[in-house]
Amino acid sequence: MKKKTIRQIVGLVLALVMLSAFTGCSKSSPETSNPKPKESAKKGTDAKDNEKEKEPLKFSYMSSIWGVHPQDGTPIFDELMKRTNTEIDFRWYPTDQYEEKVTVTLGSDDMPDVLAGGGTAKLVDEGAILPLDDLLESHGKNILAQLTDDDYPYMRSAMDGHIYTVPFILDFPPAYAMQIRKDWLDNVGMEKTPETWDEWKTVWKAFQDQDANKDGDATNEIPYAGDVYGLLPAFGINVSNKIGFTVDSGGKYTLMYEMPEFRTFLEEMQSMYKEGLLDKEFATRGTYVDNPELEKVLSANLVGSAMTWAANTRTSTEVMREVDPKAAMIGVPPIKGPDGKQGIPSRVRVSPTASITIAGEDKAERIIDFYNYVFSEDGIKLMSYGLEGTHHEIKDSKPVLKEPYINSFDDAREAGLNFTPFPHLFTEDAYMQITTGGKTYEELTEPMQYFYDALYAGEDFFFTPVPTLTTDAYSEKQADIMPKLEAMVAQCVIGELSVDDFYKEYDKLKPIGLQDILDQGEEAWKKISK
């Protein structure tokens, strides 16, 4: 396998990964590097051909912008406009000014036809944007062909269950991984990486007792670092953040605290903390989604294991090797919990991106026709790889990005590739070409190989997290209730609250808003998961 190029590996592994992790996902054919839409999405699309016989489609597109971004007139966007007979008036505003700009614009005579990232719930409530369900069915078959069953809850509004946006889709492997110091295992005389809960506890105890980092101080090792929420999937609770919304075994949208498995989790975390196996700073170290403080201790040669960004296998290893040339943070399958449960959150593929406002209602069909081309086979190839000769060349019948785009996300974004404020599908192959610089596995540095391996280490156990639904109750009450729940979990883990007392305090929150959050969340879930 390792003699193949990264692009070849990605194509093979992703097909297996996504078939096991997702239902109804349309993926790449062996002959092409870009996903092939379902049969309903014809190459070139009828919409594209019809546009040639019409006057140019002209619409305004307003969005926030951050970091490096393409300027007007890039070859990729010029080609897209040419192919679709379209002229777009792009209106970009800095992220920190955008919300205010949206408010002002919606109350003026200069409302844009398409609005990106303007707060969908508020816009729906104000009647400022159009439901797109029927338009997508009649004019957006290519767009729908790229959505999986897991994507729809992220696309539908919790208010009424309708779709109001055209998405940006990034087909990239899950970003998280369970990680362990391979060199620490060697240092404590353990050849086999742990799999079961008991095996992991044995390893953590060894890391704690045997000066695993060999710095002469047997007290500074952190067997498991970061917050405790990264361990929840081992208990059958599939969440990706500390807010804790999930769907139980009966299909009910609920909070993890309502599940009997959460009690077991709390009991185990209390025990681990008492034994010194958990990071003493777990409550402030950061989650595996937002973890700058966790990254610091990882790089400081103090951490034996963590659930965090897969990229930390590379960055932490590189930093640690300046002190210890044998340091190796590797990705492993997620922990098999006390009842045999395993899981690791996959990346959410879709980002609801662009809505058609009431100002663009007369153009709505043609705007969806335009995006239908963007999501066609030819459109996907253009937005992922750019123009042949300029941005990519064909090797072995596949597009391969050229310098400088293959080595720099900034250069790629400036050219219009992986440009997230604009709806399109960016292929996993193109993303990985940029990530690896198009190198073969053998050509990668060892830390980069660790990162690559970590992306797929948990492939048999990926799950798609459910979204946090911004119901009225959640919007009104979460700022008060959710921090209290987080604090209660921390108090329970360190032993300031017994598990029974945790649930007594939890029940006190229900009459003051928590029950409304649960009830409204369940009703909203019924709408968006249909």
Tens digit of each residue's pLDDT (9 = 90 or more) over 210-244: 999 999 999 999 999 988 999 999 999 999 888 99
Per-residue confidence (pLDDT) for residue 41, from 0 to 100: 38
Domain boundaries, the chain: 6-173+349-437, 175-239+255-345+446-468, 469-530
Ranges 39-48, 168-177, 263-272: which has the least confidence: 39-48
| Residue position matching structure tokens 């719930």 | 121
pLDDT higher than threshold 60 for residue 27: no
Cα 243-246-251 angle, rounded to 5 deg: 160
CATH superfamily of the 175-239+255-345+446-468 domain: Periplasmic binding protein-like II (3.40.190.10)
Distance CA 350, CA 148 (A): 10
Angle between helices 197-209 and 260-275 (to 10 degrees): 20
Q: How confident is the model at residue 67 (pLDDT cuts 50, 70, 90)?
A: confident
Per-residue confidence (pLDDT) for residue 125, from 0 to 100: 87
Per-residue confidence (pLDDT) for residue 53, from 0 to 100: 56
CA dist list (Å): 51 to 57, 296, 351, 367: 8, 54, 27, 11
Backbone φ, ψ for residue 506 (5° rounding):
-60, -45
pLDDT higher than threshold 80 for residue 317: yes
The distance of Cα 270 from the centroid of its chain, to the nearest Å, equals: 30
Cis status, amide bond into 404, omega within 30 of 0: yes
CA dist list (Å): 84 to 50, 52, 282, 382: 9, 7, 52, 12
pLDDT higher than threshold 80 for residue 26: no
Percent of the chain with pLDDT over 90: 75
Q: Which two tokens stand for residue 12?
A: 């093979």
What CATH class does 6-173+349-437 carry? alpha beta
Per-residue confidence (pLDDT) for residue 171, from 0 to 100: 84
* Mean pLDDT value of segment 35-57: 53
* Mean pLDDT value of segment 49-68: 81
pLDDT higher than threshold 90 for residue 292: no
Residue type, 97: Q
Regarding predicted confidence, which is higher, 470 or 490?
Answer: 490
Per-residue confidence (pLDDT) for residue 28, from 0 to 100: 34
Give 450-489 pLDDT, tens digit per residue.
999 999 999 899 999 999 998 999 999 999 999 999 999 9
Backbone φ, ψ for residue 338 (5° rounding):
-55, -30
Regarding predicted confidence, which is higher, 316 or 13?
Answer: 316
DSSP 118-129: S-HHHHHHTT-B
> Do you know the residue count of the chain?
530
Per-residue confidence (pLDDT) for residue 269, from 0 to 100: 97
CB-CB contact of 265 with 235 (8 Å): yes
The strand pair at 166-170 and 425-426 is best described as parallel
* Mean pLDDT value of segment 327-340: 96
Per-residue confidence (pLDDT) for residue 70, from 0 to 100: 81
SS (H, E, C) 206-232: HHHHCCCCCCCCCCCCECEECCHHHHH
CB-CB contact of 244 with 485 (8 Å): yes
pLDDT higher than threshold 70 for residue 501: yes
Q: Is 484 exposed, middle or buried (0-12, 13-18, 19+ CB in 10 A)?
A: middle
Per-residue confidence (pLDDT) for residue 69, from 0 to 100: 80
Per-residue confidence (pLDDT) for residue 50, from 0 to 100: 56
Mean of per-residue pLDDT scores for the chain:
88
pLDDT higher than threshold 80 for residue 49: no
In the DSSP assignment, the letter for residue 254 is E
| Three-class SS state of 78 | helix
Q: Do domains 6-173+349-437 and 175-239+255-345+446-468 have the same CATH topology?
A: yes
Q: How confident is the model at residue 404 (pLDDT cuts 50, 70, 90)?
A: very high
CB-CB contact of 33 with 429 (8 Å): yes
In the DSSP assignment, the letter for residue 440 is B
Percent of the chain with pLDDT over 70: 89
Radius of gyration, alpha carbons of the chain: 24
Of 467, 466, 469, nearest to 517 by C-alpha is: 469
Q: How confident is the model at residue 109 (pLDDT cuts 50, 70, 90)?
A: confident
pLDDT higher than threshold 60 for residue 29: no
pLDDT higher than threshold 60 for residue 323: yes
CB-CB contact of 242 with 227 (8 Å): yes
CB-CB contact of 455 with 177 (8 Å): yes
Regarding predicted confidence, which is higher, 41 or 419?
Answer: 419
CB-CB contact of 208 with 277 (8 Å): yes
Regarding predicted confidence, which is higher, 70 or 514?
Answer: 514
